[in-house]
Amino acid sequence: MYILQLPLSILLVLLSASKGLAGPISVQTFGLVQGIDQEVIIENVNTVYAIGIVGVGLTYDVSDDTSVVMRIGKGTADQSGVNYDGDFREFSLVQYLKQAPEHSVFVELTRHTTDVFAQRVVVSPSNPTLTDFVDNTFTSTDILIGADLQIFNYLKVSLAGGAAIWHMESEVQDQLMLGRYRVTTHREVDTKSTDGILRLGVHATTKHSALNIQATLRSLKSKASQDISGIELNYTYNF
């Protein structure tokens, strides 16, 4: 991943975890690291996608079976001379089709947007300053169906899968020296597609709180050979 420098406490939301808590409103602190381990080629343009985020969220239980989740976050990092700045926004609707002590089945509709700006400045005493940057916006509407399985009294495993309808917009600028001249190149990506998404989570709950961790894999196979992988951790408190 390109973004690895995060505060010590990285916390995130696993949506289904809040259903084991008492009360209609939950607050979360969360952290999210996701991206592609290397440059990705989309429509013959090399671009990058990586983000590290910390933020807050709010879950409202509309009923015993339905929850609405809103999250926002922001992250900055400096990795190998590259400065990263990212923003994250997400809105989710979770509907439980079946709830039982041993297992539950749910469907989830999530809309999220991540904005990533990466910049590298090369300073040389003998040449003009060179600036490379990538400005990337990734938006996805995820439709998932999943299940929570009770392992122990306070421990559950969650597995979900479905389709992600995604849209990537990316602007790439590179600067280089050709003899005495500084040359700037611009390339753009604006593409949409639909691919699969998988999510695996583990969450531990008490009466008023939950600690959750989950891993997500987003396929981009319709447009690229790489996938977007992510890891999240969250602490939720329910009033």
Is 1 among the domain residues? no
Range of the domain at 137: 15-238
CA dist 52 and 85 (Å) reads 9
Token pair for residue 85?
A: 């700045």
| Band of residue 20 on the pLDDT scale cut at 50, 70, 90 | very low
pLDDT of the residue at 15: 38
pLDDT mean over 56-78: 92
CA dist 65 and 63 (Å) reads 5
Q: Give percent of the chain with pLDDT exceeding 90.
A: 51
User: What pTM does this model have?
Assistant: 0.81
Residue 144 · residue 112 · CB < 8 Å? no
Is 174 among the domain residues? yes
CA dist 140 and 164 (Å) reads 6
CATH of the domain at 27: 2.40.128.90
Is 49 among the domain residues? yes
| Band of residue 201 on the pLDDT scale cut at 50, 70, 90 | very high
pLDDT of the residue at 99: 86
Q: DSSP character for 13?
A: -
pLDDT mean over 109-119: 92
Residue closest to 47 by CA, chosen among 217, 220, 196, 188: 188
pLDDT of the residue at 222: 92
CA dist 32 and 215 (Å) reads 10
Cα end-to-end distance, the chain, whole Å? 36
Q: Structural domain tally of the chain? A: 1
| Band of residue 184 on the pLDDT scale cut at 50, 70, 90 | confident
CA dist 112 and 137 (Å) reads 11
pLDDT mean over 144-154: 92
Is 8 among the domain residues? no
Residue 104 · residue 88 · CB < 8 Å? no
Residue 62 has pLDDT above 70, yes or no: yes
Integer CA distances (angstroms), 167 to 1, 34, 147, 231, in order? 21, 16, 27, 21
